[in-house]
Structure 1
Amino acid sequence: MTDQTMAKPVDAGEMAHPLIPAQRVNGTDVFNQANEKIGKIEDVAIDKRSGKVAYAILSFGGFVGMGEKHQPLPWSVLNYDTDQRGYVVDITQEFLSLAPKLDVSELSGWDDSASREAFHAYYGPLGARPYW
């Protein structure tokens, strides 16, 4: 065998497909850096023109679906952790409680054009990158 025909070892991480359907993202747990569950992804917001995922809509608090709060997290602050089988974001409960919120009635058809700058400014220290 020549160098060109020898089989290259395949890293197991390379075998995993990098894309995921939105329905599998919805319901995925979100953890902080201390491995504490802080909520779950309720939905994703996709920019119509670019097709980029702009935000993960985080649901947290409440009990059995009642009293839950929602807020968009810029997608760029989330990191998928295969060991956790969820997303990890470097925020504290205090940071979360002070973050801009989104009313549950706004989940469908949410238009963030008036508030996107404020969300990205708030999450900027965490490395949020604008999607636009």
Structure 2
Amino acid sequence: MKYAIIICAVLLVTAFATDFPRAQGTAQSITASRVDVVQVASGYRASKVIGSTVYNESRDAIGTIDDLIVSPKDKVTYAILSVGGFLGLGTHLVAVPFTSLQVADKQMRLSGATRDSLKALPEFRYALP
């Protein structure tokens, strides 16, 4: 439930960051673009990605995807990884570009990473609303 709310919030922020056509006063101009729905449907649903365990190339579990964030400036998606800790306590959150993750054998992989190398990255903190 928490993740569904977060995903909805990200979608709303992204939607409100763009210019909406106005109902009154100015002419509306909406540009629609065609999307290859077959290609989109073969993508990864955020609800399935969030909570996934991340492994390195040695198949060691190195973290869990805690969240996905879309950058407002360049629209790049970042995976927020939870590293270390136990039952949510003492975890270290780090941000990595989603493009650095690969899917292999139905597992999320981050090549060249270890728990220690991820813990050495700057800690990610959510901006206050």
TM-score, normalised on structure 2?
A: 0.59
Aligned to 1:27: 51
Q: Secondary structure at the match of 1:100?
A: coil
Q: Once the two structures are aligned, what percentage of the paired residues are identical? A: 28
Q: 1:57 aligns with which of 54, 72, 80?
A: 80
CA shift digits 1:92-116 (9 cap, x unpaired): 233212212113xx1776xxxxxxx
**After TM superposition, which residue ranges in structure 1, 4 or more long, deviate above 3 angstroms?**
48-52
CA pair 61-37 structure 1, distance change in 2 beyond 3 A: same
The match for 1:129 is none
Aligned to 1:36: 60
- Matching residue within 94, 101, 114 for 1:92: 114
1:12-49: per-residue Cα shift (whole Å, max 9, x none)?
Answer: xx99x432221111101100111001111001011346
Question: Is 2:71 the partner of 1:47?
Answer: yes
* Aligned amino acid, residue 95 of structure 2: P
1:102 aligns to what? 124
1:86 Cα offset (Å): 2.2
Unaligned 5+ residue runs, structure 2? 1-37
Question: Aligned to 1:57, what secondary structure does the other structure show?
Answer: strand
> For residues 24 and 39 of structure 1, do their structure 2 counterparts lie closer, same or farther at Cα, with a shift above 3 Å needed?
same
Q: Any gaps of 5 or more consecutive residues in structure 1?
A: 1-13, 110-132
Q: How many corresponding residue pairs?
A: 91
Inter-partner Cα distance in structure 2 for 1:23 and 1:108 = 24
- The letter for the 2-side match of 1:61 is G
2:100 is matched with: 77
Secondary structure of the 2:96 match is: strand
